[in-house]
């Protein structure tokens, strides 16, 4: 869900809460991004959800993205940077945002730095989970068959965005998951080096119950936000 409320006390753009969730597929980024976003009244921006919605809607971009997504590969940087630039330009993102699934390459990360320039610090939360746990988690993950949105752990029945039936993601099959993890190691893991020297970077152990991860994220976020204002 793309929440648009704004409960952030500081409305000025310079103090916006801009968050990036890093981590491999299955780390729990979507669930945690959703919790963080609703807790702070920020939009959760998931590039995977945006692409899946485009696939479901049969738009030109969706049709072009489908084969690449189902093979577990990444969509081109230009397309992704275009999507996120447009999304961050919308009024609800002025007070901040929680990005889930972007950036995934160093080129995207550099573009994001340009997009948030002058909009307050970027807090980067890296969720770390061992590979065998990821493969197991992805085997049981579900998305909505109607609107394509990623189901979060709280959803026990149908999709809470549109009421559609929840199904397994095509790209969560074991073979494709292995490919996606390889792509992650090759193209997205280098982002840890890209961000790790910043005072607003934090690593979180994601191999714990979701509520524990949420609590860890909360303190990491408070700490990172404090260090950004020092
Ligand atoms: P996700 O739901 O984040 O796992 O994304 C599902 C798929 O969408 C990925 O495996 C990629 O094919 C594509 N995708 C999502 N975000 C990006 C991105 N930032 N860059 C390139 N491809 C992406």
Q: Which pTM value belongs to this model?
A: 0.89
CA-to-CA distance for 147 and 164, rounded, in angstroms? 7
Asked if residue 152 is part of any domain, the answer here is no
Q: Which atom of ligand 1 is nearest to the CA of 180?
A: 10
Asked if residue 52 is part of any domain, the answer here is yes
Asked if residue 138 is part of any domain, the answer here is no
Asked if residue 158 is part of any domain, the answer here is no
Q: Which atom of ligand 1 is nearest to the CA of 69?
A: 12
State which residues of the chain have pLDDT below 70: 1-14, 229-230
- In tens, the pLDDT along 46-62 reads 999 999 999 999 999 99
CA 211 – ligand 1 centroid, Å: 25
Asked if residue 137 is part of any domain, the answer here is no
Asked if residue 194 is part of any domain, the answer here is yes
- Site to probe by mutation for ligand 1, drawn from 22, 47, 79, 151 as the one with most ligand atoms within 8 Å of Cβ, is 47
Asked if residue 39 is part of any domain, the answer here is yes
The CATH number of whichever domain residue 208 belongs to comes to 3.40.50.300
CA 104 – ligand 1 centroid, Å: 8
Structural domain of 94? 7-130+188-228
Instruction: Evaluate the CA torsion angle 142, 209, 226, 193 in order and state its sign.
Output: negative
**DSSP secondary structure letters along 145-157:** TTT-PBPPTT--S
Mean pLDDT of the chain: 90
CA 184 – ligand 1 centroid, Å: 10
Reply yes or no on whether 90 is catalytic: no
Asked if residue 180 is part of any domain, the answer here is no
Helix (H, G, I), strand (E, B) or coil at 46: strand
Backbone dihedral region for residue 84 (phi beyond 0: left; psi -120 to 50: alpha; all else: beta): alpha
Q: Which residues sit with their C-beta closer than 6 Å to ligand 1?
A: 25, 47-48, 51, 68-69, 72-75, 80, 101-102, 104, 108, 150, 171, 180
Split into its structural domains, the chain has a count of: 1
Note the pLDDT of residue 130. 96
Strand residue runs (E) in 12-105:
17-22, 44-46, 96-100
Note the pLDDT of residue 2. 38
Catalytic, out of 44, 87, 104, 202: 104
């Amino acid at each position: 869900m793309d929440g648009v409320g704004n409960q952030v006390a500081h409305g000025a753009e310079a103090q916006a809460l801009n968050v990036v969730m890093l981590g491999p597929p299955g780390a729990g980024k979507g669930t945690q991004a959703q919790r963080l976003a609703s807790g702070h009244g920020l939009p959760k921006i998931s590039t995977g959800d945006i692409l899946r919605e485009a696939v479901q809607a049969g738009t030109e971009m969706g049709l072009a993205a489908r084969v690449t997504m189902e093979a577990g590969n990444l969509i081109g940087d230009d397309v992704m940077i275009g999507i996120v630039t447009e999304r961050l330009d919308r009024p609800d993102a002025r007070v901040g945002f929680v990005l889930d699934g972007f950036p995934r390459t160093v080129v995207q990360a550099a573009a994001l730095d340009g997009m948030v320039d002058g909009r307050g610090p970027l807090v980067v939360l890296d969720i770390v989970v061992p590979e065998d746990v990821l493969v197991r988690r992805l085997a049981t993950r579900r998305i909505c068959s109607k609107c394509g949105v990623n189901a979060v752990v709280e959803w026990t029945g149908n999709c809470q965005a549109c009421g559609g039936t929840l199904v397994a993601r095509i790209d969560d099959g074991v073979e494709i998951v292995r490919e996606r993890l390889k792509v992650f190691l090759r193209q997205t893991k280098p982002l840890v080096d890209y961000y790790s020297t910043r005072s607003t970077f934090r690593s979180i152990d994601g191999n714990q119950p979701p509520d524990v991860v949420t609590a860890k994220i909360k303190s990491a976020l408070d700490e990172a936000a404090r260090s950004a204002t020092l």
